[in-house]
Amino acid sequence: MKKIALAVALAFAATGALAQEKTIKIAGFGAKSGVVRSFGINSEAAMLAAADQINRAGGIRLADGSKAKIKIDYYDDRCTAEEGISVARRMAGTDALVGVGPTCSNVAEPLFGILQKRVGNASDSGLQFPIFTDVAIKGGLAQISEWAFRNVPNEMTMYSSLFYWLKTQHPNLKTVYGGVEEDFAHSRATWYVVMKNRAEANGYTVAGESKWLLADTNFATQVREMKKANADIVAISAHPFSTCGVLKEMQRQGVKPKLLVGLTSTSSLETMQGCAKQAEGMMIPTSFAPVNKEATAAANATAKFKGSADLHSMAAWENMFILKQVMESEKLSGNPKDLQADRRKVRDGLAKLRVTKGLLGDTKRTDDREADKPYLFVQARGGNWVVLHNPL
Amino acid sequence: MLDFLQALSDGVLFGATYALIGIGFTLVFGVMHKINMAYGAASVGGAYCGLLVLQVMAGAPPLVVFFCAFLAGGLLGWLVYLTCFHFIPITNPLATLMATVGMLLLIDEIIVHTTAGMPMAYPAMFDDVMLRVGEFTLRGDLMMVFAVSVLCMAGLLALLYRTRLGLATRAVSQQTVAALLCGIRVGQVNATTFVVTGLLGGIAGAMIGASVGTLSPLLTTPLTVKGLIVTVIGGLGSVPGAIIAGLMVGGFESVLQLYRGVTERDLYVMLLLFVFLVFRPGGLFAAKGGRD
C-alpha cells in the first residue's frame, strides 16, 4: 500500500514538474507552397533539427536558472507579400518570441515596412516583433526597421571577390555577358546592382545582357543575343528553372563561354536535378558547403528532418544557435506575462552582436543589422557542387 | 531580316504546343459550351506522370515517357470530367467554371507537393540536331515537337470527321437535344471528349517539357493563359482556329520579344487579344452556333 502511495506521489510530482517546464516558441515562416516550396521545407527542417539538438542538450537557460525547451511553429507565406504580412501579424499575436524568415525578398521588403522603424518611438505603431531572416537575400533590407535582422550572405562582397579571383586566375578573359530573370526581386537586383557592377569594377567589359521571365519556356532569342556577343564569361542571375532552360538552349545553339557564373541561390539540389550536365563547370559563391565537421553534422541533422542543406537552410540553422546565445545572455524570463519584454530583449541582444559563430567560421555583424558571412566558391562537377576555392 | 525570320520560325515551331493546348480548351467548349480551366494544369500533370516511367525503368527512351504522359493526360482528363462536370449541375455555368479553377489549383499544388517545386529534367528527342542554312537554324527538337503536334491535330481531325465517335461528338456539339433524341449518349460523348483532349494535353505537356528540357509547376499558369488566348483568337469551338491561332501567337510572341524585349512582349500579346475581342469577338474561325 505504501509503495502505491509513493508511486502516486511521485507521479503527481512529475506531472507538476512537467506543468512547470517552460517553452520558448520560435516562429519560422517562408514559402511552403508554390514553386519555391523547397526553400520553406529546407528552412523548417533546419530549424527543427537545430531545436532538437538544443533541446537534447537541455534547452535555453532562463533568468531564474530554469531551462526552457524550444518549440518551432512554421508558417507558410506562399512567397507573396500580402500573405507574408498576414503571417507576421499572426505570429506577433501568438506567444512566439521571434520570427525566422522569410524566403522571398519581395515578402521581406514590405514585411519589414510594417515593423516599428525605430525602437522606442511611441508615435510609431508598427509591430514590435523581432524578425531574423535566413533566406531573403536582396541587399540592404534590414535597414528598413530596427526590429529586422538578417543572417544572409553579402552578395556584393561575394561577387566582388569572385570576379577579382577570376581576373587573377584567368587574366586573358575580358568580357562578361549577363542573363537576368527580370521578374524576380533577387535575381534582378543581383544582376543590375551586384554582378554587373562588380564585373566592371574588376576590369571586365560587360558585353550586354539578355532578359527573360521566371516562367518563360522559350529562350532561343535570348541565347542568340548571347551567342552574338561572344563574351568570355556568361553570368546568369536566375533561379534554377529558367537557368536550366537557358543552359539547355545554350547547349543546343553551341554557346560555350570560357566560364559560367551563376546566382547564389542556384548552388542547390534543384539545379542538379534539372540540368546537371549543362551546368557542369558553373561557378557560384556560396556561404555554405559541408566542408568541416560541424557543417557536415548540421547537414546530416537537417536531412533527418527531410530537408537539404544549402546556403539558405543552413542560415536558419545558424539563426537558431545565435538566438539561443542571445536568449541566454539577455536573461529572458520566459513567462507569458513578460512576452513583449522578452521580445525586446531578443531584439536588443541581436543588435548588440558584433560577431556570431557560423558553420563556415565567424560572421561579422554590421551596424545596419546585416551579416558579413564567410563564403567560398563552388563549382558544378559531375552532378554535385564541389568546393573550388576558399578565398578567406 | 534574318533575325526576324529566325525569331518567327522559332516562335511558330514552339507555337505548335500552344495550338495543342488551345485545341483542348476549344474542343471542350465546342462540345459542352464550358471552359475547362484545369486543362493546362492537367497537361503539365500528365507530363509529370510521364516521368514516373523513369523511376521504374531508369534510362527509358523518351518515346516511352511521352507515351506514358499521353495516357496519363487521358486519365487526368477523365478525372477532371468526373469531378468538375459529371456530378455538378451542368446548367450552372459558374459552378463548373469554378470547379475547374479549383481543380487547376489542386493539380498545381499536388505537383508542387510531390516535387517540392523543384524543376525536373525532361527527356528530349533530337535536341542535339540543328538544321543550318547559312546563319539560319532550325532546332531539331522543336521540329519534332511541331511534327508530333501536327500528327496529333491530324489524328484529332480524322477522329472528328471520319469516325462514328467524331460524328456523335459533332452532333452533341451542334444540337445536344437532337443528339439525345437520336440515341446518342451525351454523357458518354462528353466523357470521351475529355479523355481525348486529355490525351492531347498529355502530349502537349510532354512536348513542352521536351522543348524546354525541364518541367516545373511554374508552367501551369502561363499555359492556361496561353491556351485561353489561343482559344479566343482562334474562335471558341474551332479546332482549325486553335491550330492557326497557336502558331500565330507563338510567332507573334517571339518576334515581339526580339524587337520590344521580354518586359513588353506579353503586353503586346494581350493587346492582340484585346484587338480580337473588340473587332472580331468570334475569333478567326468562330464555330457556327447550333440551332439550340
Q: What is the mean pLDDT of residues B210-229?
A: 90
Q: pTM for the full model?
A: 0.81
A-chain residues near B116 (CB < 8 A):
37-38, 41
| ipTM of the complex model | 0.79
Residue (of A243, A149, A140, A227) closest to A187 by Cα position: A243
Q: Tell how strand A175-181 and strand A205-212 pair up.
A: parallel
The pLDDT of residue A20 is 59
pLDDT one-digit tens code per residue, A195-247: 999 999 999 999 999 999 988 888 988 999 999 999 999 999 998 889 999 99
> Among residues 222-281 of chain A, which lie with CB inside 8 Å of chain B?
222, 224, 240-241, 244-245, 248-249, 251-254, 269-270, 273-276, 278
User: What is the average pLDDT score of chain B?
Assistant: 89
B128 touches chain A (CB under 8 A): yes
Least CB-CB distance to A38: which of B116, B137, B262? B116
Residue (of A287, A311, A300, A298) closest to A361 by Cα position: A287
Check B7 against A214: CB less than 8 A apart.
Answer: no
| Alpha-carbon span A174 to B139, nearest angstrom | 31
Least CB-CB distance to A274: which of B120, B211, B253? B120
Which pLDDT band, with edges at 50, 70 and 90, does A17 fall under?
very low
B-chain residues near A104 (CB < 8 A):
none
* pLDDT at residue B128 tops 60: yes
Which pLDDT band, with edges at 50, 70 and 90, does A295 fall under?
very high
* pLDDT at residue A154 tops 50: yes
* pLDDT at residue B286 tops 90: no
Mutation for testing the B interface, residue in A184, A221, A266, A308 having most B CBs under 10 Å: A221
- The residue of chain A with its CA nearest to that of B4 is A221
* pLDDT at residue B201 tops 90: yes
| Alpha-carbon span A232 to A248, nearest angstrom | 18
The pLDDT of residue B173 is 81
pLDDT one-digit tens code per residue, A164-181: 999 999 999 999 999 999
The pLDDT of residue B253 is 92
B141 touches chain A (CB under 8 A): yes
Q: What share of chain B is helix, strand, coil (3-state, %, to 5)?
A: 75, 5, 20
Q: What is the mean pLDDT of residues B31-37?
A: 86
Residues, chain A = 392
B-chain residues near A222 (CB < 8 A):
262
pLDDT one-digit tens code per residue, A302-336: 999 999 999 999 999 999 999 999 999 999 999 99
The pLDDT of residue B33 is 82
The pLDDT of residue A179 is 97
A250-269: b or e for each residue (b if 16 or more CB lie within 10 Å)? bbbbebebebbbbbbbbbbb
| Alpha-carbon span B252 to B222, nearest angstrom | 16
> Among residues 167-226 of chain A, which lie with CB inside 8 Å of chain B?
182, 211-218, 220-222, 224
Distance from CA of B129 to the nearest CA of A (A): 8
Place of cell 521566371: A214
Q: What is the mean pLDDT of residues A26-52?
A: 93
* pLDDT at residue B119 tops 80: yes
* pLDDT at residue B116 tops 90: no
pLDDT one-digit tens code per residue, A110-140: 999 999 999 989 899 999 999 999 999 888 8
Q: Which helix (H) or strand (E) holds B206?
A: helix B186-212
The pLDDT of residue A5 is 56
| Alpha-carbon span A61 to B283, nearest angstrom | 71
Quick one: B106 exposed, middle or buried, by C-beta within 10 A (0-12, 13-18, 19+)?
A: middle
pLDDT one-digit tens code per residue, B251-275: 999 999 999 989 899 999 999 999 9
The pLDDT of residue A9 is 54
B225 touches chain A (CB under 8 A): no
B-chain residues near A213 (CB < 8 A):
262
B-chain residues near A33 (CB < 8 A):
109, 112-113
| Alpha-carbon span B105 to B111, nearest angstrom | 10
Q: Are B43 and B202 a contacting pair, CB within 8 Å?
A: yes
In this structure, is the dihedral angle defined by the CA atoms of residues B120, B124, B129 and B135, taken in order, positive or negative?
Answer: negative
